[in-house]
Chains A and B, each alone.
Chain A
Amino acid sequence: MTTRVPVVEKILSANDRIAEENHARIESAGVFSINIMAAPGAGKTSLIEQTLPRLKGKLRVAVVDGDIATSIDADRAAKAGAQAAIQINTGGDCHLDAIMLRSALEQLDLTQFDLLIVENVGNLVCPASFKLGTHKSVLVASIPEGDDKPYKYPGMYRGVDALVINKIDLLPYIPFKMDYFERGVQVLNPGVLTFPLSCRTGEGLDVWIEWLTQHATHKK
């Protein structure tokens, strides 16, 4: 005899539970945390490199770097002034998940930091589905990627709390229709906080730094 058992459970509920544990752990240490996601080459590591020196003497920062194989990104973060830089090699996985972040958190004395920056694996699809437990998720888009990305990767654009638009110094050279891009963003994520900036020229970075500083200071 076959019986039907109702389940109605979200498929990634186990990850979500661990993300909640991570969140509680970070929150109780009084640390502000962000999960930076983007396509490869959008400028996640560059943003972190530009951010760290500007926070020097103001915030103590730990960086957790997710990558498929190398430790290039964590090395760059350490060089740029992170008080701690931990590399997670996903061994081919296309995203970080809450379990990976948990094992990285176990290597950190969180009470020694004000800000935790998690750099996800470069990918516009998978990281959107796996919550990590950070306070805010940040998407770094960039001008050369093209203005159609919100339409092609709606899952990523929908789930984030802030949107950095990097490489705005290239706008004069690339056919990027900002109104078309913004319309897609508006539909998917109405009113999302947006930071247009250039990691190369430094334009717009002060507003981003101010946002991070305010949140991190508020936690203390």
Chain B
Amino acid sequence: MHELAVTQSILDISLRHAKDAGAKQITGISLVIGEFASIVDDSVQFYWEMIADGTIAQGAQLHFERIRGEMICANCKHSFHPDDIDFVCPNCESPFVQITKGDEFRVDSIDVE
């Protein structure tokens, strides 16, 4: 997995925005991560404690907002959460469905002092 690279990016982005805001300390970081983003929160947290050390983000709390995956059926417009085994619409069994939520992968905001 590439959680170290991801965590480094989160730190870089946060430090840059904190600097632009003239902040002395970052106390919290809000992350929005969709179900399909294949990122493990615990690993990000683990790397965070190592790499944020010695920066103004040291000790900042990471807040993970997880977005549940969602699909919509092109045939009957039914919205549903896909299971792991198949993607067909549970309402009309059409295979023509589209992902509408779950791709999110961003730093949403930072709390600074």
Contact of B1 with A126 in the complex, beta carbons under 8 Å:
yes
Chain B residue nearest in CB terms to A127: B2
Distance in angstroms from B90 CB to nearest chain A CB is 13
B13 touches A3 (CB 8 A): no
Q: Is the CB of A3 within 8 A of B6?
A: no
Cβ-based interface call for A111 (8 A): no
B: residues with CB less than 8 A from A are 1-2, 5-6, 9-10, 12-14, 17-18, 21, 23, 27-28, 31, 36-38, 71, 84-88, 95-99, 105-113
Contact A6 B108 (CB under 8 A): yes
**Could you tell me which A residues sit within 8 Å of B by CB distance?**
1-15, 93-95, 97, 125-126, 129-130, 148, 151-152, 154-155, 158, 180, 183-184, 186-188, 190
Contacts of B13 in A (CB 8 A): 7, 9, 11, 13-14
A9 to B32 CA separation, bound complex (whole angstroms) = 10
B99: chain A residues at CB < 8 Å are 154, 158, 187-188
Shortest B63–chain A CB gap in Å is 11
Whether A183 touches B95, Cβ cut-off 8 Å, given contacts A5-B23, A14-B9, A125-B1, is: yes
CA distance A2 to B113 in the complex (A): 5
Q: Are B36 and A154 in contact (CB under 8 A)?
A: yes
Chain B neighbourhood of A187, CB < 8 A: 71, 87, 95-99
Complex: A4 Cα to B5 Cα, angstroms:
25
A148 to chain B, nearest CB (A): 8
